[in-house]
A and B are shown apart, each in its own frame.
Chain A
Amino acid sequence: MKMLSRLLATLSGCAVMAAGSSGLAQSIDYGSLEQLFNEAVTTSATGSPQRAASAPVPMDIITAADIKRSGAVDIPTILSRLAGVNVLTWGAGSSDVGVRGYNQAKSPRLLVLINGRQVYIDSYGYTDWAALPVRLEEIRQIEVVKGPNSALFGFNAVSGVINIVTYNPKYDTVNTATVTTGTQAYGGVDLVQTFKLGDILANRISLGASRSNEFKNTNDPQILSSSLENPKSLTASLDSIAQLTPQLQARLEVSWSNDDASTVLPNNIYSQYGNYTSSQRLSLLDESPIGLLEGSVYQNEAYTKFVDFGSLDWKNKVLVAKVQDLIKIDARDTLRFAVEYRHNGMNTDPIDTGKVFYDVYSPSLMLTSTITSKLSATAAVRYDQLKLGFSGYFPSYEQLTTSEYNRTIGAFSANAGLVYAATTDDTFRLSYARGVQSPTLAEFGGFHAALPTPYFTVDITGNPYIEPSIITNYEVDWDRTLPALGAKANLRVYYQTTTDVKGIPSETGLNLYPTATQLPLIWFQNVGNSEMAGLEAAASGVLPQGWRWNANYTYTNVENKPQPGVNLIGHFADYASSTPKNMANLGLGWTGGKWTADGWVHYTSSYQDFPITYALPSLSKVDGYATLDGRLAYSLTKMLTVSVSGQQLNSARIYETVGLPVERRIFASLSANW
């Protein structure tokens, strides 16, 4: 009770104190802090720098060394080796990543960031992994937060957050070039260069290009050859930091990407796909007497083309401005106060008669408190007020009006966690999270089509009345270090509910019946609730003679709770069937002298998904599968490393999804560091 009173007193005191402050930021020298504490450091849990082991949320960190040894040429392959992560590989350059169930084509439940800047495609909330403007060689670490964290990050942070943290050009010098070739006529070139102008200006540029042949369609007549495209991508980015005064830094991040691929739409049909993105962010970071102050503004643009299914051509612009203060207000308490504004808009398409947009105003507050030497508590809350709007017009044959878009949605997000270090080796974590998944712009109205059928034409549109999904997560975690074995292990058990699960327009029933002058309509809609229970167990360690190992197991069980009369299959929302119940990974590696060798075995149990078809949806079984990956590297000199890696070495082709079979891939790389 004393603790509670103290926490409440501190919170109320902080609120008063923070009300007068303006903005915050964190210019964190991850490298120095990691060397100081001899463990990974993160800001993705609370916005405050923390040792990963004491973060109040379930989190995994993939280090630069892990990435280098992965043998992967893309981020999804690296993520697939974590507990709780499911990757749907649709083609050689297209995949969807799900954290803790609910994965699907163009999955909109995951927040993906680069240095805290959102890089998912905001028109539909999905991530185009090939278009991320970051090269593997410039990544310091990938922080994977499991479960909702929208009290810190806002919308989309509901199944998890993946924050890709790059090296900081002010503190880290990274110069690399890599040339990769491989099967499927794969070719890739990466260049990362850091250059500094005295102590005042530090810059890093990265450039990357890759191409590959698409996997072959062996026997599915529903996958049209005209829907497939050989994947290729180009990316470029600049990260500049200017030290304006000893306390004040300015950071400019500019990026650009262009990629083409075969992709799979949310209704599980293949499409040729093209995506152009650009982003500019300017941040000011001030180590001030009232804490770490940050002000930042960024704009993302994405021009996305889905050639099939009405030749969608979406133009999306997002503007985000944020001020934040992070302050340690006394010996025990750290407070984070932030205000964020977001404007997000896109054209309607394929019937391009208007623009749907929203403005979001979001104050948020976080307090982390050291209650005793063994017990710490964190509480965070955020309120999002979303004002929806529509400019343009609807054709007279449609039943929607622009005035229906004059709508305001308000929602609270919350995170709370207790971390108890019971012994020097055992840490327990109890957490609660309430996340808000806003409908995407496409779901509100960006998707706008008229589909002719043999009997009549149907309007397929977004829905101005669709409600946000609310995801609530309850979790208990146990982390244990095993010093005698040079190992550590963790066990995570959680229960999660989702209310107002969203579904795509279903052709199995009309939402609005036709009138004398207007077409019938189907639209995106809430289809019911869902529950999930899961368990993740993971362990890793090092052994004498240069050996290392890791293993993890994931159990996930989703239960559908549909609204009466709703056919979940018709809405592509049968997550109980489409979420694999069991997944496991095993990794073994060795480094000796100039040689490094690593191998991984992955297993995913069988599940059901919606077959690739233009006909009415149904469910089809995808058999469980196992894959074997490996990498062998040799350091020619201090500067040069040559490596050979393989993915799915155990089989030439495996049906991992209802789409194209995934093919065995072999890569050979030559890397130079200077």
Chain B
Amino acid sequence: MKCRVRWAWIGLPLLIAQLALPAYADTAKDVQIAGRALTFLENGPSGHVVIGVVFDPSKAASVAQKDAVMAALGSGLDVGSLTLTGKPMDVSAISGGVAALYITGGVNFAAAGAAGKAHKLITISDDSGCVASGACVMAVTTTPKVEIKVNRAAAAAIGVSFKSAFRMMITEL
């Protein structure tokens, strides 16, 4: 009996890890696709690119997603011609020095979007609401299939535009 309990304790973290895996897997895919989308920017970045991962430390979901994004980026995620790395940023302390901002769930979109516009940074989220509100430039989701939405006004506000072929294949708002 003791033996069974011991094995159960060992199995529990594995079970939790398994349950958590889909969320991490989706975040990893979202980040990868978001990175690829950056390669379709006119005069976009190249080589090593740092993404600011914006989170709200008071919200567990936001922190968890930040951790997932940072894990996905790891020491350098290669997507096309880019190598992406991440830099965690508290929503109240968004700064420049990065190529784009990835806004995690639960963050105040308006505040993050305003900071992005102030620093002329492209803002990305997996929440369509952020793009619909005009706070984010781009929303990327990959489940059940890849969907990319771009807010044209938000993009124009920071002076970025995407290549024509890309624009014809996404949803623009």
Query: Interface of A with B (CB < 8 Å)?
Result: 26, 28-29, 32-33, 35-39, 41, 48-51, 246, 287, 291-292, 326-328, 331-332, 334, 370, 373, 424-425, 481, 483
**Number of residues from B at the complex interface, CB < 8 A:** 23
A424: which B residues are within 8 A, CB to CB? Answer: 144-145
Roughly how many angstroms separate A49 CA and B168 CA in the complex, as a whole number? 7
A370 touches B171 (CB 8 A): yes
- Please measure, in the bound complex, the distance between the C-alpha atom of A373 and the C-alpha atom of B43, giving whole angstroms: 29
Q: In the bound complex, do residue A38 and residue B146 qualify as a contact, i.e. CB atoms below 8 Å apart?
A: yes
Ordered by A's residue number, 23 sampled pairs between the chains whose C-beta atoms are within 8 Å are A29-B165, A32-B36, A32-B80, A33-B166, A35-B80, A36-B36, A36-B166, A37-B146, A38-B145, A38-B146, A39-B146, A41-B169, A49-B165, A51-B169, A287-B164, A291-B164, A292-B164, A292-B165, A328-B167, A332-B172, A424-B144, A425-B144, A483-B144
How far, in whole Å, are A35 and B34 apart by their CA atoms in the complex?
12
A-B contact count (CB 8 A): 60
CB distance from A617 to the nearest CB of B (A): 50
Query: Which residues of chain B have C-beta atoms less than 8 A from A331's C-beta?
Result: 152, 172-173
In the complex, B142 has a CB within 8 A of chain A: yes
Contacts of B48 in A (CB 8 A): none
8 Å CB interface, B117-173 against A: 142, 144-146, 148, 152, 163-169, 171-173
A residues in contact with B39, CB < 8 Å: 32
Q: Give the CA-CA distance A48 to B169 in the complex, in Å.
A: 9
Q: Which B residues lie within 8 Å of A328 (CB)?
A: 164, 167-168, 172
A36/B33 in contact, CB under 8 A? yes
Q: Is the CB of A49 within 8 A of B169?
A: yes
Cβ contacts under 8 Å, B43 to chain A = 246
Interface of A is mostly: mixed
Chain A neighbourhood of B61, CB < 8 A: none
> Nearest chain A CB to B139's CB is how many angstroms away?
13
Q: Complex formed: what's the CA distance from A103 to B168 in Å?
A: 36
Report B43 CB to chain A, min CB distance, Å: 8
Interface centre among B37, B163, B165, by most chain A C-beta atoms within 10 angstroms, is B165
Q: What is the distance, in angstroms, from B144's C-beta to the closest C-beta of chain A?
A: 5
B33 to chain A, nearest CB (A): 6
Q: B36 touching A35 by the CB < 8 A rule?
A: yes
Nearest-neighbour CB distance to chain B for A225, whole angstroms, equals 54
Shortest B24–chain A CB gap in Å is 18
Least CB separation from B165: chain A residue = A49
Q: Give bound CA distance, A483 to B166, whole Å.
A: 26
Do A50 and B168 touch across chains, with their CB atoms under 8 A apart?
A: yes
17 extra interchain contacts, Cβ-Cβ under 8 A, other than A49-B165, A328-B168?
A: A32-B80, A36-B37, A36-B166, A38-B145, A49-B169, A51-B169, A246-B43, A287-B163, A291-B164, A292-B164, A292-B165, A327-B164, A331-B172, A331-B173, A332-B172, A370-B171, A424-B144
Cα(A174)–Cα(B123), bound, Å: 36
What residues of B have a CB within 8 angstroms of the CB of A35 in the complex?
A: 36, 80
Complex: A48 Cα to B168 Cα, angstroms: 7
Identify the 9 closest CB pairs spanning chains A and B, nearest first: A331-B172, A36-B36, A49-B165, A292-B164, A37-B146, A328-B167, A424-B144, A334-B168, A48-B168
Q: Which residues of B contact A291 (CB under 8 A)?
A: 164
Cβ contacts under 8 Å, B173 to chain A: 331
Residues on B with C-beta less than 8 A from A246 are 43
Residue of A nearest to B81 (CB): A32
What's the Cα separation between A328 and B36 when bound, in Å?
Answer: 21
Q: Nearest Cβ in chain B — how far from A284, in angstroms?
A: 15
User: Cα distance A596–B80 when bound, in Å?
Assistant: 28
Inter-chain contact A33/B169, CB cutoff 8 Å: yes
Distance from A375 Cβ to chain B, minimum over Cβ atoms (Å)? 13
Q: Which residues of B contact A50 (CB under 8 A)?
A: 168-169
* Separation of A335 and B168 alpha carbons in the complex (Å): 10
> Closest CB of chain B to A44's CB: distance in Å?
14
Q: List residues of chain B with CB within 8 A of the CB of A332.
A: 172
- Enumerate chain A residues within 8 angstroms of B33, measured Cβ to Cβ: 36
Q: Which residue from B37, B145, B164 sits with its C-beta under 8 Å from A39?
A: B145
- Write the nearest CB–CB distance from B128 to chain A, whole angstroms: 10
A663 to chain B minimum Cβ distance, whole angstroms, is 45
CB nearest to A293 among chain B residues: B164
Residue in chain A with minimal CB distance to B43: A246
* A6 → B minimal CB distance (Å): 16
Output the nearest chain A residue to B161 by Cβ-Cβ distance.
A289
Chain B's closest residue to A37 (CB) is: B146
Residues of A with C-beta under 8 A to B80: 32, 35
Minimum CB–CB distance for A405 against chain B, Å: 43
Q: How far is the CA of A29 from the CA of B163 in the complex (A)?
A: 11
> Which chain A residues lie closer than 8 Å to B40 at the CB level?
32, 36
Interface string of B10-40 (1 = CB under 8 A from A): 0000000000000000000000010011011
Q: Would A37 and B169 count as touching, CB distance under 8 A?
A: yes
Residues on B with beta carbons closer than 8 Å to the beta carbon of A481: 144
Q: How far is the CA of A51 from the CA of B147 in the complex (A)?
A: 11
Closest residue of B by beta carbon distance from A370: B171
Residues of chain A lying within 8 A (CB to CB) of residue B144: 424-425, 481, 483
Contacts of A29 in B (CB 8 A): 165
Taking CB atoms, residues of chain A closer than 8 Å to B168 are: 48-50, 326, 328, 334
- Tell me the complex Cα distance, A328–B165, Å: 9
Q: How far does the alpha carbon of A251 sit from the alpha carbon of B63 in the complex, in Å?
A: 49
Once bound together, how far apart are the Cα atoms of A65 and B108, in whole Å? 45
B-chain residues with CB within 8 Å of residue A49 when the two chains form the complex:
165, 168-169
Q: In the assembled complex, which residues on chain B have CB atoms less than 8 Å from the CB atom of A36?
A: 33, 36-37, 40, 146, 148, 166
Closest approach, in angstroms, between the C-beta of B92 and any C-beta of chain A? Answer: 33
Task: Assess whether A28 is in contact with B165, with CB atoms less than 8 Å apart.
Answer: yes
Contact B36 A326 (CB under 8 A): no
**Given A38-B146, A39-B145, A326 and B164 touching (CB < 8 A)?**
yes
Also in contact, A373 and B36, with CB within 8 A (given A38-B146, A49-B165): no
Q: Which residues of B contact A334 (CB under 8 A)?
A: 168
- Min CB–CB distance A544 → chain B (angstroms): 18
For A331, give the chain B residue with the smallest CB separation.
Answer: B172
In the complex, the chain A residue whose C-beta lies closest to that of B172 is A331
What separation, in Å, do the CA atoms of A373 and B131 have in the docked complex?
15
Give the docked Cα–Cα distance between A264 and B146 (Å). 48
Q: How far is the CA of A48 from the CA of B145 in the complex (A)?
A: 21
Assembled-state Cα–Cα distance A292/B167 (Å): 11
**Closest residue on chain B to residue A29 by CB atoms:** B165
CA distance A50 to B168 in the complex (A): 7
Chain B residues near A326 (CB, 8 Å)?
A: 164, 168
Q: Contacts of A38 on B, CB cut-off 8 Å?
A: 142, 145-146
Nearest CB of chain B from residue A588's CB, rounded to whole Å: 26
Task: Please name all residues of chain A whose beta carbon is closer than 8 Å to the beta carbon of B146 when the two chains form the complex.
Answer: 36-39
B35, closest chain A residue (CB) = A36
Cα distance A483–B33 when bound, in Å? Answer: 20
Bound: A481/B36 CA distance, A: 25
Q: Could you tell me the distance in whole angstroms from the C-beta of B135 to the nearest C-beta in chain A?
A: 17
In the complex, which residue of chain B has the Cβ closest to the Cβ of A330? Answer: B172
Distance between Cα atoms of A481 and B144 in the complex (Å) = 10
The smallest beta-carbon distance between B42 and chain A, in angstroms, is: 8
* B165 partner residues in chain A, CB cutoff 8 A: 26, 28-29, 33, 49, 292
Nearest A residue to B79 via CB reads: A35
